[in-house]
A and B are shown apart, each in its own frame.
Chain A
Amino acid sequence: MKFLRISTFFALTLSAASGFMLFSTAQKVQQAESNLGRVRTQVAQEEQTIRVLRAEWDYLNRPDRLEALVKSKLELIPATPESVRADTSELPAPYTPIVPVRKPAYSSPVAKAIPASLETQPTESSPQALPKPAAPQSPDQTPEVPQKDFNQMLNELAPAGGDE
C-alpha cells in the first residue's frame, strides 16, 4: 500500500484548510458575540439613561415651576384674551415702543457700562446730529453687548457642530 498517494495528500490539505477556516470562523463568531453583548449592555444603559432624562425633563418642565421661573426671571406675562387678535390689521404699528408691563426688577449692569468706543459720536457733518433720545429703563435698549456675547458663543460652538 502506497502511503503518500496524491489523494491522501490532497485530503490532508483539505482537512487542514477546513480546520483552519472553522477555527478562524469560530473565533470571529466569539469576538462578534462578545461585541454584541457589550453593545447590548450599552443600549440597555442608554435606554435607561433616556428614561431618566425624559423623566427629568418633564420634571423640570412642570407648569408650576416654569410659571414661577418666568415670573421671577423674565419680562413676560401670560397671554390674555386681549392679547389675542383675530385680525392682523388690529395689531399696533410696529414702531410703537412696547413698554414692558412689569418694570425690570434689576437694572442691568451692562446697560450702565457701555464702553465709549461703542457710543456713536455724531459728527458735525452728519445729518443725524439730533439730540439723542433718553434711554428708557428697559433692557431691550442695549442690544449691542448681549448680541456680541451671543455671537461669541455661537463662534465657540461653530467648530463643534460644523462638521456635521
Chain B
Amino acid sequence: MSIVNRVRKLRIRIEGSKRSALDMAHGRIVLISAGFAFLYLGVGARVVDLTILQGELPRMTGTSIERPLEPEQKKMAVRSDITDRNGVLLATSLETASLYADPALVKDPVRAAEALSKAIPGITYGDALEKLQRHSRFVWLKRNLTPAEQTRILELGEPGLQFQTEYTRIYPQGELAAHMVGYGSVDGAGLAGVERSFNDLLNKGGKPLALTLDIRLQHILRRETKKAISDFTAKGGAGIIMDVVTGEILAATSLPDFDPQNPSAAKPQQIFNNITLGVYEPGSTMKIFSTAALLELKKPNLGMTFDTTKPLKAGKHTIHDYHPEKRPLTIPEVFMHSSNIGSALMGQTVGTEGLKNFYSDLGLLSPVNVEIDEKGRPLVPNPWRDIHTLTAAFGHGVSVSPLQIVSASSAIVRGGTLVKPTIILDEALAKGAKKVTNENEVRVVSPQTSHRMRQLMRLVVTEGTAKMAEVPGYNVGGKTGTAEKIVNGRYDHKKKISSFMGFFPMEAPRYAVFIMVDEPVGNKKSYGYATAGWVAAPAVGRVIAAMAPLLGMKPQNTAEEDDISYPLLPYLHDKKHQGGQLATVTTE
C-alpha cells in the first residue's frame, strides 16, 4: 500500500447540500491550527534559545557575558561638582531635608509646636503653632535642615511633620575662590563665574568639572593680597597666579570677596570681579609692552638714550616723572626707574600706528578670552591721537583688566608667542600631553626681544623699583606700576592703584604672579609711600616665597655674573665701572 493511498483513506468525504460550507469550516480550522502550531513552534524555539543557547551553553563553556541586569535607573540628575586641579571640592550639591507639616495629621499642635521650637533654633513657638493650626494639608516649616536638626525632628516621632529632599549647592571653600567659581540661585541656576558660564553642562550632571585653580596657591595669594590691603588700608585688590607655559590660571583672587553660600548678603563691591570685569589704567606695568614694542619694531641699541631732564610737553598735557632722574636715560634705565618721560618718548619713536597695532596684537584692546562671562571691555581712546600714543606708552589713557596684563606680559616673556588664559583643566594636558594649539602659535615678538625683556624685568628687581620682590634662589623679575586713579575726570594724586607683574624664574619663566592693590595709603613702615615697590612688590615676593617650596621648585643660587640681568649693567650710568664700555649713545 502506497503512502498516497493511506492519505486518501484519511480524507473524509462529506457529501450533501451543506458540503461547501463544511468544507470551508474545515479549511479554516486547519488554517487556524497551522497558525497556532507555528506560533507554539516559535515560542518553543525561543525557550530553547534563552535557556540553552544563551543560558546554559555559554555558562558551561565559560563564554557568558555579564550583562547589566537592568538599564541604569534614571536618577534625578544632580548638578556636577566643581573641583580644583587636585580634586578638592569647590562646589558640590548635597541632599538636604526640608521640613513641612501636614496640619491635618498633627493631633496636638501645642505640644508639637513646643517641641519644634526646642528642636530647631530658627523656629519660634508662636509661628510654629500658627502654621500647625492652619486648615491646609501642606505648610513649609523650614527649608534645608542640617542633619542634626533632622535627627531631632525624627526623634519627636510626630507623624504630621514630614521631609522633602532637595539639593542645595554647598561651597566648602567658602569665599576662597568665590569670584572664579561663582554662585547660584536658590533653584540651582548659576549666576556668576564658572557656575554661570558652564550652567548647562553642570546641570547635566556626571563627572565633576575640574578647574585649573590650586586651592593651596589660591590661599597663599589671597592671604598675601589681603595682608597688603590691610597693611596699607586699601579699598580692595586683585591677584593672579598663572602658568606662563600652559596659560592655566592657578589662582585668582578679587578682594573684598563674599560668601557664595549667601551672595544676597554681599555688597556690590564684594561681588564685583576685579580680575576680569574691572578695567584699570595699569600705569607703569604697561611699559613692559611699550618697551617690547620699541625693541621689536625699531631694534635699537640698548644704549639709546632718552632725554628726561625736563617734563615733556605735548599739547596741553605735561608728562612728569615720579622720581625724576633729570638726565638722559638709556633703555634699561628708563625701564628700571620707570620714567614716564622716557616711555612717552619710546612711544613716540614707535609711532601711533605701530604702538596701537602692537597693543592690539597682544589682546590689550579687546576683552580677554577666558571661560567666565564677567569680562570687562578695555577702555581705549577713540579716536586714538598722537598724544594717546605718548600716554599709552606709560600706561595712562588705556584701561585693561588685570588678567589682560598677565596674559599679554606672559606672551612677551614666554618667548614671544601668545598664550590663552584658561580656567578649565584639560585632563589630557595636565597629564603631560602637548598642547594642540602650540602648533599654530601666534608670534607677537621675536625670541630675542623676549630675552631682552626678561633681562630688563630682572633688572627692575635687582637694581630698580621692585627690590622688595626678590626671593633668593628664584630669580624674580617683573615690573611695578603705580597709576593715579581718575576721580571726576581728573587724575587724583592721592588715590593710586599699585600693582606688580612678576615672573619667576626669570631664565625660563614658569609662573606669573600679579598683585594689584586699590587705593593703598602709605604707613610708617613704608615711610609714607604707597607706590607699587612698597605695596605690591613685597606681596608678590611673599607669594613666590611661599608657593615655590610648595610646588617643589629647587632654588638656583646664581652668582652675580650669571644673573640674567648682568649683561645690562654696563648700560646703567652709575654701574659704568662694572662692565667697562658704556654703550654708544645714540640720541634721536
Contact = CB atoms under 8 A, between A and B. Distances in A.
B89 A86 contact: no
Contacts of B556: 86
A54 B92 contact: yes
B215 interface: yes
Nearest to A63: B219
Interface in B280-310: none
Nearest to A59: B172
Contact of B549 (A51, A61, A67, A81): A81
A17 to B, nearest CB: 16
A149 to B, nearest CB: 32
Nearest to B95: A48
Interface string A45-70: 00010011011101101111001000
Contacts of A85: 554-555
B176 A83 contact: no
A54 B176 CA distance: 18
Given A81-B472, A81-B474, A62 B92 contact: no
B359 to A, nearest CB: 35
Q: Is the interface of A mostly helix, strand, loop or mixed?
A: helix
Given A52-B94, A63-B215, A63-B216, A81 B176 contact: no
A80 interface: yes
A63 B174 CA distance: 11
Contacts of B473: 81, 84
B554 A86 contact: yes
Interface in A71-90: 78-86
B549 A83 contact: yes
What size tier do the contact residues of chain A reach?
A: 20 to 34
B170 interface: yes
Given A79-B550, A83-B549, A55 B471 contact: no
Given A62-B174, A63-B219, A55 B89 contact: yes
19 contacts: A36-B69, A40-B73, A55-B89, A55-B92, A58-B88, A58-B89, A62-B172, A63-B176, A63-B216, A78-B546, A78-B549, A79-B550, A80-B545, A81-B472, A81-B545, A81-B548, A82-B472, A83-B549, A84-B553
Interface of B: 69, 73, 88-89, 92-95, 147, 170, 172-174, 176, 215-216, 218-219, 223, 471-474, 545-546, 548-550, 553-557
Interface of A: 36, 40, 48, 51-52, 54-56, 58-59, 61-64, 67, 78-86
Q: Nearest 3 CB-CB pairs, A to B? A: A63-B219, A79-B549, A86-B554
